[in-house]
């Protein structure tokens, strides 16, 4: 889909991770860079993990032993905050196997100097989580990494046996003890076993790397971030709901207030006109009243269009298909509507409706289209809607505030909006929204 | 003189409409503010005709229209004129595509300003004819896709069809368009021929046209 420009996508479409790479194309995974990245990650993890383990054991051991002296406490504190630079290193190293960077969980410092640094860091949960990660790194991930890298090393040696046999001939080589291999060709069996070993090392390496990524995300990433995103999404949902409620209120106020007043006015004028018609001397006044009534009528028509634009009652009463059919009837460009949808949740119907009206308005204003087609259906629990015109295309989804706003609304419903508008047309707008029912 | 029951939730309009109907020589038996009261009042007082708003309490959706349909399902001969703020054809279609549309009307509220025409439309509904607001018909006629037979109508024929749908008989139609009744008959038969409809009497013609317009089977 090189011709389509996806608008800001909602959360839930992350870049490819190692597990996704395996799941999507298990065989192509072997030929990709992924296994190498995982091996490098695990191997270097082993190289870092054991020194870290050693340092921690020493610091903690001496710390506990010397605690009564006082300096032991300092050693213990040192062991805890040693996790901070290690965390930074590990977050950087994570980039080898994780496309999405893990942000630094630490807050800014409350003052200058080592004392302030120590005070701030020791009070943070992030520091303690990093310490927990540091204790895991050597014994758990280091060991696992060591196992995989060792397996890989043996596999590589086996793969290379024909070359080794050839290099050290005529000395005998024994792949299986007691049975010397006579030449490079016979050593090909070892190559096969080695390749199998590499495949195993690739998959286990990937799974281990994925497990470590998960753990690292949990322990090295900011916890509050997730809460904040959830809170942000919630507040956006609240905003959209409030916005919608406000629209309904304005529509109701106009309907119950100004519209009824205007109808009453035009009724009174109509009665006055009737009375005046009976009086020959008042012909001029009758004409004026008739004009006033005509003006009230125009005002009513304008108000009706305005109210419909704010919130179409037919959408509430008759649903999406009927409301879109009404819009199609009024559209300056012929619109064919093929909407096979039941009544849906109100938020889904409103979003779908405004998507269609926005697309139709754009088609009429910019595209030079001579036909527009609206097609919609519910499959499983997803509503898909496409609006296609035969215009000249070249629409820039980023430019229209209307489309960006729609993308936000669609994202709120955990759906997606895709606009495809190559120069020369056609322009196609597609919405997918989950809906239950 | 008609004995009427009026349902309209706006106090202002209820008073105005009562005055207008009374001045028009009718008797307003009851003027109520909700769909529920409307049904009760009709059951109790057996009016000659009902005039009701679409949007009514308690839900402020299409309660008035639903009440009208309910009343009609109980008594298919009760004339009902629905007043609406919505041009949306879905409401007119919902009202008029029941088993029988005789004695039903769907008018925009704007129309009450044209007092004489409004009273005339009410009279027609009370006499068992069907009245559709010209604005609604205009919307239906304005954008019919090219493959629909309606595209074959001439502008004059569309004009005739619109007036026909608003309940005018041939005589009134001829007067309105400044043509002879014979010309109207000619236009009408041409319309029915183009739409493949049977040219039957008055009210049925409107129904057939409406059913055709709304894409329903006749």
pLDDT tens, position by position, A52-91: 989 989 988 888 888 887 788 888 888 888 888 898 899 9
pLDDT of B176 = 86
Q: Mean pLDDT in chain A?
A: 84
| Length of chain A measured in residues | 437
Is B12 in contact with A261 (Cβ distance < 8 A)?
A: yes
> Nearest residue on chain B to A318, judged by CA atoms?
B90
Binned at pLDDT 50, 70 and 90, residue B148 comes out as low
Interface test with A, best of B18, B69, B91, B110 (most A CBs within 10 A): B110
pLDDT at residue A262 above 90?
A: yes
For the segment A227-254, the average pLDDT, to the nearest whole number, is 82
Model confidence band, residue A400 (pLDDT cutoffs 50, 70, 90): low
Supply the pTM of this predicted model. 0.61
Selected residue with higher pLDDT from B205 and B15: B15
pLDDT at B30 over 50: yes
The whole-number pLDDT of residue A397 equals 63
pLDDT at B150 (0 to 100) = 67
Collapsed DSSP state (helix, strand, coil) of residue A306: helix
d(CA A300, CA A102): 58
Best mutation target among B51, B68, B88, B137 (most A Cβ atoms within 10 Å) is B88
Low-confidence winner among A86-90, A272-276, A304-308, B138-142 (lowest mean pLDDT): B138-142
Strands A372-379 and A335-340: parallel
**To which H or E segment does residue A373 belong?**
strand A372-379
Residue B89: list chain A partners with CB under 8 A: 325-326, 329
- CA angle at B185 for the pair B180 and B190, rounded to the nearest 5°: 125
Percent of chain A at pLDDT > 70 equals 92
Please give the ipTM for the structure prediction: 0.79
**Chain A with chain B: Cβ pairs closer than 8 A:** 100
Calculate mean pLDDT across residues A169-192: 74
Confidence band for B82, pLDDT divided at 50, 70 and 90: very high
Q: Nearest chain A Cα to B114, which residue?
A: A270
**Average pLDDT value for residue range A285-304:** 93
CA-angle at B13, arms to B9 and B14, nearest 5° = 60
Please list every residue in chain B whose beta carbon sits closer than 8 Å to the beta carbon of residue A268.
16
Determine the Cα angle at A196 with ends A195 and A199, to 5°.
Answer: 90
For residue A133, the distance in angstroms to the closest alpha carbon of chain B comes to: 58
The pLDDT of residue A5:
44
Q: Between residues A193 and B211, which one has the greater pLDDT? A: A193
Which of B151, B159, B164 has its CA nearest to residue B210? B164
Whether pLDDT at A14 is above 50: no
φ, ψ dihedrals at A173, nearest 5°:
-115, 135
Percentage of chain B beyond pLDDT 90 is: 44
Minimal CA separation from B113 to chain A, in Å: 4
> What distance in Å separates the CA atoms of residue B110 and residue A355, rounded to the nearest whole number?
31
Which comes out higher in pLDDT, residue B143 or B26?
B26
In sign, the C-alpha dihedral spanning B185, B191, B196, B197 is negative
Q: pLDDT band at A157, cuts 50/70/90?
A: confident
- Give the pLDDT of residue A79: 86
Q: Given an 8 Å threshold on Cβ–Cβ distance, is A264 in contact with B89?
A: no
Cβ neighbours of B61 in A, within 8 Å: 313, 316-317
Low-confidence winner among A320-329, A410-419, B67-76 (lowest mean pLDDT): A410-419
- Under 8 Å between Cβ of A220 and A91: yes
In the numeric block, the tokens 């409406």 are attached to B210
User: Residue A11's pLDDT is what?
Assistant: 39
**How far is the alpha carbon of A296 from chain B, nearest alpha carbon, in Å?**
9
Please judge whether A329 and B143 are an interchain contact, meaning their C-beta atoms are less than 8 angstroms apart.
Answer: yes
> With pLDDT > 70 as the criterion, what percentage of chain B qualifies?
83
Cβ B61–A273 below 8 Å, yes or no?
Answer: no
pLDDT of A15 reads 53
């Amino acid at each position: 889909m090189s011709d389509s420009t996806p608008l800001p996508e909602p959360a839930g479409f992350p870049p490819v991770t190692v597990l996704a790479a395996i799941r999507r194309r298990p065989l192509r995974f072997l030929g990709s860079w992924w296994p190498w990245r995982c091996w490098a990650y695990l191997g270097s993890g082993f190289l870092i993990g054991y020194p870290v383990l050693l340092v921690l054991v020493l610091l903690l051991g001496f710390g506990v032993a010397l605690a009564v002296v006082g300096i032991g406490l300092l050693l213990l504190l040192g062991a805890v905050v040693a996790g901070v630079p290690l965390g930074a290193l590990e977050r950087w190293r994570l980039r080898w196997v994780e496309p999405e960077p893990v942000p630094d969980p630490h807050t800014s410092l409350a003052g200058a100097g080592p004392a302030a640094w120590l005070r701030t860091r020791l009070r943070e949960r992030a520091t303690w989580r990093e310490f927990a990660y540091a204790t895991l790194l050597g014994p758990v991930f280091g060991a696992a990494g060591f196992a995989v890298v060792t397996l890989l090393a043996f596999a590589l040696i086996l793969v290379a046996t024909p070359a080794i046999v050839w290099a050290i001939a005529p000395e005998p080589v024994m792949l299986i003890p007691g049975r010397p291999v006579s030449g490079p060709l016979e050593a090909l069996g070892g190559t096969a076993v080695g390749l199998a070993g590499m495949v195993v090392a690739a998959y286990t390496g990937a799974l281990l790397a994925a497990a470590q990524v998960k753990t690292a995300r949990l322990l090295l990433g900011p916890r509050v971030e997730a809460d904040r995103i959830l809170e942000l999404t919630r507040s956006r949902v609240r905003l959209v709901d409030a916005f919608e409620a406000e629209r309904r209120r304005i529509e109701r106020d106009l309907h119950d207030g100004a519209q009824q007043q205007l109808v009453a006015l035009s009724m009174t004028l109509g009665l006055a006109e009737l009375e005046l018609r009976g009086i020959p001397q008042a012909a001029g006044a009758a004409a004026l009243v008739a004009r006033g009534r005509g003006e009230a009528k125009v005002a009513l028509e304008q108000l009706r269009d305005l109210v419909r634009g704010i919130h179409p009652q037919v959408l509430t009463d008759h649903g999406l298909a009927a409301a879109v059919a009404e819009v199609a009837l009024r559209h300056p460009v012929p619109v064919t509507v093929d909407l096979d949808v039941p009544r849906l949740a109100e938020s889904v119907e409103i979003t779908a409706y405004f998507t269609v009206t926005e697309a139709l308005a754009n088609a009429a204003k910019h595209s030079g289209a001579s036909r527009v087609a609206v097609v919609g259906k519910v499959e499983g629990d997803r509503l898909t809607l496409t609006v296609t015109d035969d215009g000249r295309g070249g629409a820039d989804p980023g430019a229209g505030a209307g489309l960006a706003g729609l993308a936000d609304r669609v994202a709120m419903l955990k759906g997606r909006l895709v606009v495809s508008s190559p120069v020369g047309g056609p322009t196609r707008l597609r919405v997918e929204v989950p809906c239950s029912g | 003189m008609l004995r009427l029951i009026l349902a309209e939730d706006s106090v202002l309009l209820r008073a105005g409409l009562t005055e207008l109907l009374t001045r028009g020589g009718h008797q307003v038996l009851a003027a109520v503010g909700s769909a529920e009261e409307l049904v009760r009042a009709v059951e109790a007082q057996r009016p000659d005709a009902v005039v009701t708003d679409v949007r009514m309490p308690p839900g402020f959706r299409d309660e008035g229209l639903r009440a009208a349909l309910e009343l009609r399902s109980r008594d298919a001969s009760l004339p009902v004129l629905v007043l609406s703020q919505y041009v949306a054809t879905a409401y007119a279609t919902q009202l008029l595509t029941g088993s029988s549309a005789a004695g039903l009307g769907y008018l925009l509220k704007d129309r009450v300003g044209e007092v004489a025409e409004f009273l005339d439309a009410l009279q027609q509904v009370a006499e068992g004819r069907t009245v559709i607001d010209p604005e609604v018909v205009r919307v239906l006629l304005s954008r019919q896709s090219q493959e629909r037979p309606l595209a074959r109508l001439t502008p004059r024929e569309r004009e005739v069809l619109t007036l026909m749908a608003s309940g005018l008989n041939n005589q009134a139609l001829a007067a309105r368009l400044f043509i002879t009744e014979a010309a109207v008959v000619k236009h009408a038969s041409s319309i029915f021929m183009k739409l493949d409809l049977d040219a039957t009497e008055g009210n049925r013609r409107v129904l057939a046209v409406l059913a055709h317009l709304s894409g329903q089977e006749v």
